[in-house]
Amino acid sequence: MRTWPLENPGLFRGASWDGVARGWLLLCMACLLMLVAMDATAGVDKKFPEVRGYFPSATRFGDISGKPPAAAVYDGDKVIGYIFESVMVAPVPAYSGEPVNILVAIDQTGKIIGTKVLEQHEPILLVGIPVQRLYDFVERYVGHSVKDKIVVGGSDVPGTTKIDAISSATVTSMVVNETIMNAALEVAVSRHLVASTFASASAPATIRADYFKKANWQQLTGNGAFRRLNITRGMVVDAFKGQPESGLVDDPTAPAPGHEGDTFIDLYYADITPPTVGRNLLGASTYQSMMQSLSPGDEAIAIVANGVYSYKGLGYVRGGVYDRLHIMQNRKLFLFKDSDYVALDNPKLSGMPAFNETGIFILHHGQGFNPGAPWTLQLLVRRQIGPLKSIYSTFAGGYHIPADYVIQPKVDWSTIHADAPLWVKIWYGQRFEIAVLVAGLLFLSLILVFQDWVVKRPLLLERVRVGFLIYTAVFIGWYGLAQLSVVNILTFVNSIIHGFHWSTFLMDPLIFILWTFVAVSLLLVGRGVYCGWLCPFGALQVLINKLAVKFRVPQLEPPSYVHERLWAIKYIVLLFLFGLSLQSVNLAERFSEVEPFKTAINLHFMRSWGYVAYAVILLGAAAFTNKVYCRYLCPLGAGLAISGRIRLFEWLRRRKECGHPCQVCANECEVKAISPLGPINYNECHYCLDCQVTYENDHKCPPLVERRKKREKASRPLPTAVITVGAGDADTHAERPV
For residue range 40-66, what is the model confidence (pLDDT) as tens digits? 334 567 778 888 889 998 888 887 777
Residue 318 confidence class, pLDDT cut points 50, 70, 90: very low
Q: Is the pLDDT of residue 23 over 80?
A: no
In a domain, 588, yes or no: yes
User: Is 135 part of a structural domain of the chain?
Assistant: yes
Q: Residue 619's pLDDT is what?
A: 94
511 with 614, same domain: the answer is yes
The rounded mean pLDDT for the chain is 81
For residue 249, the SS3 value is coil
Based on the domain organization, do 430 and 397 belong to the same domain?
no
| CB contact at 8 A, 269 and 302 | yes
User: Is residue 586 within 8 Å of 79, Cβ to Cβ?
Assistant: no
Are residue 115 and residue 261 in the same domain, yes or no?
Answer: no
Residues 379 and 479 in one domain: no
CA distance 122 to 129: 11
In this structure, is residue 438 part of a structural domain?
yes
Tell whether 510 is covered by a domain: yes
Which among 408, 434, 468 is the end of a domain?
Answer: 408
Q: Is the pLDDT of residue 668 over 90?
A: no
Total domains present in the chain: 4
Q: Could you tell me which residue, 40 or 395, shows the higher pLDDT?
A: 395
Whether pLDDT at 248 is above 80: no
Whether residue 692 is contained in a domain is answered as: no
Q: Is the pLDDT of residue 346 over 80?
A: yes
**Do both 473 and 574 map to the same domain?**
yes
Same domain for 234 and 277: yes
Last residue of one domain, picked from the residues 604, 626, 649: 649
In angstroms, the Cα distances linking 388 to 124, 127, 136, 575, 704 are 12, 10, 17, 39, 69
Give CA–CA dist 684/528, Å, rounded.
7
On whether residue 27 sits in a domain, the answer given is: no
Distance, CA of 587 to CA of 3 (rounded, Å): 32
Strands 375-384 and 321-329: antiparallel
CA 419 – CA 608 distance, rounded (Å): 42
Q: Is the dihedral of CA 175, 478, 531, 426 positive or negative?
A: positive
| Residue 5 reports pLDDT greater than 70 | no
Q: Is the pLDDT reported for residue 638 higher than 80?
A: yes
Residues 6+ apart with CB under 8 A from 447: 454, 464, 468
Average pLDDT over every residue of 546-566: 90
Residue 501 in this model has a pLDDT that exceeds 90: no
Which of the pair, 712 or 496, is modelled with greater confidence?
A: 712
| Helices 568-583 and 486-498: angle between axes, nearest 10 degrees | 40
> pLDDT band at 705, cuts 50/70/90?
confident
φ and ψ at 323, to 5 degrees?
A: -80, -5
Find, among 261, 281, 259, 263, the residue nearest to 271 by Cα.
281
366 and 494 fall within a common domain: no
> How large is the average pLDDT for residues 591-605?
86
Q: Per-residue pLDDT for 177 more than 90? A: no
In a domain, 435, yes or no: yes
d(CA 680, CA 692): 12
Four-residue CA torsion sign, 43, 46, 52, 57: positive
Residue 670: the pLDDT is 85
Tell me how crowded residue 517 is: count the other CB atoms within 10 A of its CB.
20
Q: What angle do CA 129, 130, 134 make, to 5 degrees?
A: 95
The Cα–Cα gap between 565 and 675 comes to 13
Domain that holds residue 375: 206-408
Establish if 381 belongs to a structural domain: yes
Residues 459, 559 share a domain: yes
- Over residues 474-480, the mean pLDDT reads 91
Co-location of 210 and 184 in the same domain: no
pLDDT at res. 725:
57
220 and 159 together in one domain: no
CA dist list (Å): 238 to 99, 242, 253, 568: 35, 9, 10, 64
Q: Give the span between the Cα atoms of 503 and 517, in whole angstroms.
A: 18
Lowest mean pLDDT among 81-85, 125-129, 525-529: 125-129
**Are 476 and 595 members of one domain?**
yes
Same domain, residue pair 565 and 469:
yes
Q: Which of 385, 408, 431 is the last residue of a domain?
A: 408
Mode of pairing for the β-strands spanning 720-727 and 406-407:
unpaired
